[in-house]
Amino acid sequence: MLYRIAGQYKTSYTADQALFPVRQDAILLGIILVIAYVVFPLTASEYAFKALLLPVLVYALAALGLNILTGYAGQLSLGTGAFMGVGAYACSKLTTIFPEMNFIVAVLLSGFFSAGIGVVFGIPSLRIKGFYLAIATLAAQFFLVWLFEKWHWLNNYTSSGAIETRNFSMFGYYIAGPLAPTVVKYYLALVVVTLVTWLALNLTRGNLGRIWKATRDMDIAAELIGIRLMWSKLYAFAVSSYIIGVAGALFVFVAGDGAEPNAFDIPLSFTILFIAIIGGLGSVMGNFLGAILIVAIPAMLNDIPPLFNLTLESDVQEYINQILVGAMILFFLIIEPLGLASFWGLIREKLIIWPFPH
Amino acid sequence: MRPITKLIAAAAVTAMAAVPALAEDSIYVPNLSYRTGPFAATGIPLMDGQRDYITMLNERDGGVGGIKIDLEECETGYSTKKGVECYERTKEKATVTQPWSTGITLGVLPKTNTDKIPILAPGYGFSPMANGKVFQWAFNPPASYWDGASMIMQYIAGGKMESLKGKKIALLHLDHPYGKEPIPLFEAMAAKYGFEFLPVPVGLKEMQSQSAQWLQIRRARPDNVIMWGWGAMNSAAIKEAIASGYPMDQFIGVWWSGHDGDLKSEGAAAKGYKSISWSVPVPDAPVMADVKKYVLDKGLSKADPENVNWVFYQRGMVISMILMEAIGEAQKKFGVKNVNAEQVRWGLENLDVTEARLKELGMSGMVPPFKTSCANHTGHSGAWMLEWDGAKFVKVSDLLQADASLIAPLEKTNGDAYAKAHAPWPVNENCKAM
């Protein structure tokens, strides 16, 4: 009844090839964009921005990058944290060497460094698959974090090895760094994420996306029909690492205020991988849902006991949070092993035929 | 009504009927603590000590200056991400930030000028924070890591720094901003006094298995191993040192590596292990009797009563004392009971903890007297060398003082470099130059 798609005729090829051909999907997207661009900036507190919205955006972007590599192209990678680090350090060095460079340009350029490194560490994928490839990318993870610590030129010779964020301004207003208003940083991240998501959506439903899916599903058959596996896999690594690098630069300069090399370690890689898996491999929307579950919900759990006037000890609270998040992940994976995106897909299918059962 | 509806209705009624507790006026002091994670073992006694001292003041005196202190702990697990999250959550009403991690301190430091909440990082944090001209909102009394490094070297040299020439000193440190903090000073001292400095890092993931590091130490045969460890790294290092036969009396830890809990399991085997410390447990101090009376006996403490004479527990109390003194000074200066963050900042900048005041507080001998000022946010109190005698830590030296001639110039240059890297960074021009 609500999601009736019958009667929506397309009368031109352009209309048929629209990103969201079903009107209700488009309306839903419109509502989400209005909430993101208008409602949140007006109503969210600074804490909500810093602890919930910005991390969700950045982690979802990184998961989007990983999803392209693992979900669409089928190349398992555990080096996400390190590639984020490459993006972050590249942005830091670019803005140090070229202080007048526009911050947004620096962020977009730093992705290329990450893409280059990603391609280098993606070369093993031409010979090995699955878990073995995961180990090869794990080598990238360890090596790059070691490099961040030891190569002092990268972190501008600070004693802590951390990236230090200065204030960046554009047209006379601060857009990044401690002096920038949080709302401005939120818009910056939101615009970058929207742009990259739109690009990813189009990329994955186009020719390249189909090549990747063929590589994922049965690479031998793909090779037989003429797909050049080397280019397919290396493109996947390049595009994926570009997005992850941009996410890394945003992670340090916009969502946070600096990061030490340890921040890009294995736990970050696993977090992004879990977001991609729980959100749904091979989907774009799933990354956002997964990020909300893994990043935002644990932070919001801390605010629930005060609603019931319960004060829990901090360590008890922490343990309860971990138990609850684990239980939620288990629950969602049991009811829909393919992830939250396909859970939404199921709900959507039911909504389309509702109120009829079939 | 269907059962489920009844349940929902009952829950709704309970939630609405719960009357919010009448919050009396109090000073909100958040503590970014960790009672979970790999650093919990070392964190818990400190945070217990902090908590119990404040509970004791609330119970005995009704707080500080007639107003209660509301200490709230926010769990960070030593993770910088959760630390920044906790900071953002508590900063609305916070009068101070206690990050309890050099990494979190560095994460919060850039925002201090805009958020205007003072950071209190006693004995940790970024050593150049002593430079109050640059770091107007950051305090690390009573001694900084550079002070500690200098004092340890003085102890090793027995007061005659020329005797260090030709020696080999290894720094076994956590590969984290905390462990890397003293390296600039060690390198400066090595250049000046002619000893060989060997940094031996221990990664966060390899804290529990340091066999590689101790193999390196065994091969290098340094004259002394200085430890800058925390959490699980401490106990693993001490076990490995004993196992590899490194002489314990050549093993000196910084104040965060002198934890009774780590050494208790080794007992007599760890005899001779030393740790520099600006706080000394005094079991029969009058303040301990008060804590026992008002907090422990009343069951208001989370601490194990066996551990109240541990170095860390009493250090936690000293740390709370420093904050309470700052609040008291601010109350007197500004004539208000419920001081805000700016006033607490002033209090921290104008601390004068004298021997007489310590006697009044019942804490004589627990911490050396010190004084902060706008140019000196650390106080540079000096510290004592403690030694493990098999069962507890005992004082084995007189009060050591750091070599300001080496440290002050570094504080100035590093402070200025930080300000430049984070431009525009407001500097307090009214402060007399360091």
- B81 close to A (CB below 8 A): yes
In a domain, residue B317? The reply is yes
Q: Which residues of chain B have pLDDT under 70?
A: 1-24, 432-434
Q: Which residues pair with B253 in a beta bridge?
A: B227, B275
Number of separate domains in chain B:
2
Task: Clarify whether residues B37 and B138 are in a common domain.
Answer: yes
In a domain, A10, yes or no: no
Residue pair B431/B375 in contact by the 8 Å Cβ criterion: yes
Q: What pLDDT score does B19 carry?
A: 40
Chain A residues lying within 8 Å of B81, measured CB to CB: 55, 256, 263
- Do the domain assignments include residue A244? yes
- A166 domain-assigned: yes
* Domain of residue B354, residue span: 26-144+282-382+409-421
- Whose CA is closest to B410, among B31, B149, B227, B212? B149
Mean pLDDT of A228-244: 95
How confident is the model over A291-314, as a mean pLDDT?
86
Task: Give pLDDT, residue B10.
Answer: 53
Domain count, chain A: 1
| Same structural domain, B190 and B62 | no
Element housing A270 (H / E): helix A266-279
- Going by DSSP bridges, is the β-strand pair B393-395/B384-388 parallel, antiparallel, or unpaired? antiparallel
Question: Which residues of chain A make contact with B41, given a CB cutoff of 8 A?
Answer: none
The answer as to whether A40 is a domain residue is no
pLDDT at A198: 95
Output the six-digit token pair for B21: 């507790």
**Residues B414, B310 share a domain:** yes
CA distance A83 to A85: 5
A117 part of a folded domain: yes
DSSP element (H, E) containing A329: helix A314-335
Note whether B154 and B136 are same-domain residues: no
Indicate whether A356 pLDDT > 90.
Answer: no
Over 90: is that where the pLDDT of A196 sits? yes
B426 in a structural domain: no
Is residue A333 scored above 60 in pLDDT? yes
Q: Does residue A32 sit within a domain?
A: no
Say yes or no: B226 and B368 in one domain. no
- Render B103-117 in DSSP notation, one character per residue: HHHHHHGGGHHHH--
B227 and B308 inside one domain:
no
- Do B264 and B320 lie in one domain? The reply is no
User: Is A169 part of a structural domain of the chain?
Assistant: yes
Q: Is B13 inside a domain boundary?
A: no
The answer on B182 and B124 residing in a single domain is no
Are B250 and B224 in contact by the 8 Å Cβ rule? The answer is yes
Structural domain that includes position A200: 47-265+280-285
Q: Which of A98, A141, A99, A169 is nearest to A267 (CA)?
A: A141
Same domain, B124 and B191: no
Q: Do A259 and B75 touch (CB under 8 A)?
A: no
pLDDT recorded at residue B146: 93
CATH classification of the domain holding B346 = 3.40.50.2300
Whether B311 is covered by a domain: the verdict is yes
pLDDT at B254: 94
> Does residue A30 fall inside a structural domain?
no
> Tokens 């006693």 correspond to what residue?
B122
Report the half-sphere exposure of B134 (CA within 13 A, side-chain side): 23
Q: Give chain A positions within 8 Å (CB) of B183.
A: 159
Give the pLDDT score at B22.
Answer: 42
DSSP assignments along A175-208, one per residue: EESTTS-HHHHHHHHHHHHHHHHHHHHHHHTSHH
The neighbouring-strand residues paired with A267 are none
Backbone angles phi, psi at A181, to 5 degrees: -65, 145
Residue B257 and residue B351 in one domain = no
Tens digits of per-residue pLDDT, A62-100? 999 999 999 999 999 999 999 999 999 999 999 999 988
pLDDT band per the 50, 70, 90 thresholds, residue A160: confident
Chain A environment of B75 (Cβ under 8 Å) = 314-315, 317-318
Q: Residue B370: in which H helix or E strand, if any?
A: strand B370-371
Q: Nearest CA to A57 among A204, A182, A206, A235?
A: A182
Of A164, A257, A299, the CB nearest to B421: A164
Which residues in chain B are closer than 8 Å to A252, comparing Cβ atoms? none
Q: Chain A interface residues facing chain B, Cβ-Cβ under 8 Å?
A: 46-47, 50-51, 55, 149, 156, 158-162, 164-167, 177-179, 256-260, 262-263, 265-266, 299, 302, 307-309, 313-315, 317-319
Q: CB of B358 within 8 A of CB of B380? A: no
Residues B290 and B250 in one domain: no
Q: Flag whether pLDDT at A303 surpasses 90.
A: no
pLDDT at B187: 92
Whole-number pLDDT of residue B14: 47
Determine the distance in angstroms separating the CA of A65 from the nearest CA of chain B, rounded to an integer.
21
